[in-house]
Every structure is written in C-alpha cells, then in structure tokens.
Amino acid sequence: MRWLRRNLVSIIGILVLVYLFIPISVVTALSFNKPAGKFNISWNELSFDAWTNLCGVPGVCSSFVTSLEIGLVSTLVATLLGTMIAFALVRYRFRGRSTTNLIIFLPMATPEVVMGSSLLALFLNLRFPLGTVTVAIAHIMFIISFVVVTVKARLQGLDPRLEEAARDLYASPRATFRYVTFPLVLPGIIGAALLGFSLSFDDFIISFFNAGTLVTFPIYIWGAAQRGIPPQVNALATLVFVIALLIVLTSQFIQYRRRKALAAN
C-alpha cells in the first residue's frame, strides 16, 4: 500500500505514456491485416501484402512522394528565412520589434482552419491557381515561426564570450561567424528543420484548403477514409514513425553517451 502511494505518480505517468501509443499500435497492427471488406478497421487475417507491395494501391506512393517533396522544399526555405529572422532578432536593433515578435507568435496561436481558410481567401481573390506552389507557400509560412523560436532560443543560449574569444584570437567578423557562431547554432537549426519537416509532412488542414486537385499523403488518407484506407497507408505511416523515432533516439543516445563520458572523466 505504501509502495503504491509512493509510486502512484509514476504509475499514472507510465499508463498515460502507454495510452499515447495505443493508436499507433493499432495503426501498425492493421498494416499486417487483410481487411475483410472495404474498411480496414477490424482485425481479419495476417498478411504481409501491404509491406511487400508498398505501392500496390494507385496513388499511395505518388502522394507520399508529393508530401516528401513539399516537405523538403518548404523546410529548406523556411529554415533559411526563419534562421535569418532569428539572427536579426537576437543580434540587431531595429524598429518595430514588438510587431515583429507578434507576427511571429501569432501563426502558432492561430487554429489551422483559420490559417488555411484565410490563405485560400487570398488565393481565390488573386485568382491564383491552387496546387503544389500554394501548398508549399502555406507550409513555409507556418514553419517559419517554429524555426525562429527554436533558433532564437539556441542563439540566446550562446555564451557571448565565445564570440569575443574568437575576435580576441584574430577571427574577423566573418571568420567568427563561420568557425564559432554557425557551428554552435547548427544543432538548433537542424532541430528546427526536422520539426518543420514533420509539421509539413503531416499537415492536413492547411494543405487541404490550398491544394486544389493536388494530393498529398494526408489528403490521400482523408479521401481514402471515406472509401476505406488500404493497409499500404498504414505500412507507410509505420515506416515514417519508425524512421523518425530512430533518428531522435540515436541523437538522444549520442548525447547520453557524451554526458556519460564526461561524468566518467
């Protein structure tokens, strides 16, 4: 009883973590299912068809590739623009700082329907054709804020004395940036880019409003939900999940090893 009382928080905490993973285990399990009817929502029969034939259903893989492409391009552009803003915010004085901060904060506090619909209203009024370009524009727009916030935090956490030390050691402003500032901020930029990519890749609402006839992976799923989602979709989603998890766990493990080496010293 005492043991239970003392560890109650930990037990609840772990149960909540397990709860977070229940739907994912369902998604994964159903990727090994041979659906009885149209809809792949209840267990029928073990099958590896989806995995051996990932692109077996028309449209799945092409939408997947579309999402990858849009994700990569949006992430690249947004990371560049966002990093530039972060540097300006931390390193330069300029007029209109509070407005700037507000414009960066607001996209993170705006529901996706509102962002998606207002952007659509703009494109409709401009008679701008919907498609890859409009979706990428939208993604870049909402990723920028996350990049700014992440890189800015990293930049603010940077000890100003490191850059002074570089200047003291004969590094010109350019060399200081290249050999000290940039390498030290880089992990933050990479983190921001990974976050940005995952947001873009998984975005449905904003994309749906601005896609026209373009089909991204989430839009494909949405459409398939009415007709029945093929197990290939589950297999691909599982694959993405596992890869992302591996990337994060590896970086965690490297950090952990580094800290351990440090402690052993």
Partner 1 sequence: MAELSKTDQVEDLHLVNLTKRFGEVAAVDDLTLTIPAGSFFALLGASGCGKTTTLRMVAGLEDPTSGSIRIGDKDVTRLRAFKRPVNTVFQSYALFPHLDIFENVAFGLRRRGVKNIKPIVEAMLELVELGHLARRKPTQLSGGQQQRVAVARALINKPDVLLLDEPLGALDLKLRRQMQIELKRIQTEVGTTFVHVTHDQEEAMTMADTIAVMNAGRIEQMGSPAEIYELPRTVFVANFLGQSNLIEGRVSGAGEMLDVAAHERSFRLPRERSSATGASIILGVRPEKMTVLDAPDAARVPEGHNVLSGRVTDVSYTGVSTQYLVQASWGQELVVFEQNLIVGDRCEVGDEVVVHWSPRHSFGLDGNEDIHAGVDSAVLALESVDSAPAAGDGE
Partner 2 sequence: MAPVLPSAAVAPPSTVAQRRSRTGYVLLFPGMTWLAVFFAIPFVTLFVTSLQTPVPGKSGRYQLGLEFGNYATALAEYWPAFVRSFAYAGIATLLALIIGYPLAYFIAFRSGRWRGLMLVLVIAPSFASFLLRTYAWKTILADESPVTSFFNALHLLPDGRILNTSIAVIAGLTYNFLPFMVLPLYAALERIDPRLIEAANDLYASPVTAFRKITWPLSMPGVVAGTLLTFIPAAGDYINAELLGSTKDRMVGNAIQTNFIEFRDYPTASALSFALMAAILILVFTYIRRAGTEDLV
Q: Report the interface residues with partner 1, using CB under 8 A.
A: 159, 161-162, 164-172, 175-176, 179-180, 183-184, 261-262, 265
The verdict on 184 binding partner 2 (CB under 8 A) reads no
CB contact at 8 A, 219 and 66: no
Residue 81 region by backbone torsions, left for phi larger than 0, else alpha for psi between -120 and 50, else beta: alpha
Strand partners, 33: 46
- Using CB under 8 A as the binding rule, the residues of this chain from 133 to 172 that contact partner 2 are 137-138, 140-141, 144-145, 148, 160-161, 164
CA nearest 194: which of 71, 105, 102?
Answer: 71
CB contact at 8 A, 75 and 196: yes
Give the one entry of partner 1, partner 2, none that residue 213 binds, where binding means its C-beta sits below a cut-off of 5 to 8 angstroms depending on kind: none
* Shortest distance, position 49 Cβ to partner 2, whole Å: 18
Strand partners, 42: none
Give the one entry of partner 1, partner 2, none that residue 202 binds, where binding means its C-beta sits below a cut-off of 5 to 8 angstroms depending on kind: partner 2
* Shortest distance, position 93 Cβ to partner 1, whole Å: 16
**DSSP 3-state assignment of 160?**
helix
**Complex with partner 1: residue 172 or 250, whichever CB lies closer:** 172
- Using CB under 8 A as the binding rule, the residues of this chain from 232 to 261 that contact partner 2 are 233-234, 237-238, 240-241, 244-245, 248-249, 252, 255-256
Give the one entry of partner 2, partner 1, none that residue 119 binds, where binding means its C-beta sits below a cut-off of 5 to 8 angstroms depending on kind: partner 2
Helix 231-264 and helix 217-227, axial crossing angle in degrees, nearest 10: 140
Q: What is the rounded CA–CA span in Å between residue 126 and residue 128?
A: 5
* Shortest distance, position 179 Cβ to partner 1, whole Å: 8
**Complex with partner 1: residue 38 or 178, whichever CB lies closer:** 178
CB contact at 8 A, 186 and 220: no
- Using CB under 8 A as the binding rule, the residues of this chain from 98 to 137 that contact partner 2 are 100, 102-107, 109-115, 117-122, 124-125, 137
Q: What angle (nearest 5°) sits at the alpha carbon of residue 215, between those of residues 211 and 217?
A: 115
* Shortest distance, position 160 Cβ to partner 2, whole Å: 5
* Shortest distance, position 83 Cβ to partner 1, whole Å: 18
Q: What is the rounded CA–CA span in Å between residue 252 and residue 91?
A: 30
Residues in the chain: 265
- Using CB under 8 A as the binding rule, the residues of this chain from 33 to 92 that contact partner 2 are 41-42, 81-82, 84-85, 87-88, 90-92
- Binding segment for partner 2 (CB under 8 A), chosen from 54-62, 174-182, 183-191, 218-226, is 218-226
**Complex with partner 1: residue 12 or 169, whichever CB lies closer:** 169
CB contact at 8 A, 135 and 211: yes
CA nearest 72: which of 190, 189, 188, 200?
Answer: 200
**Complex with partner 2: residue 56 or 177, whichever CB lies closer:** 177
Give the one entry of partner 1, partner 2, none that residue 169 binds, where binding means its C-beta sits below a cut-off of 5 to 8 angstroms depending on kind: partner 1
Other C-beta atoms lying within 10 Å of the C-beta of residue 63: 21
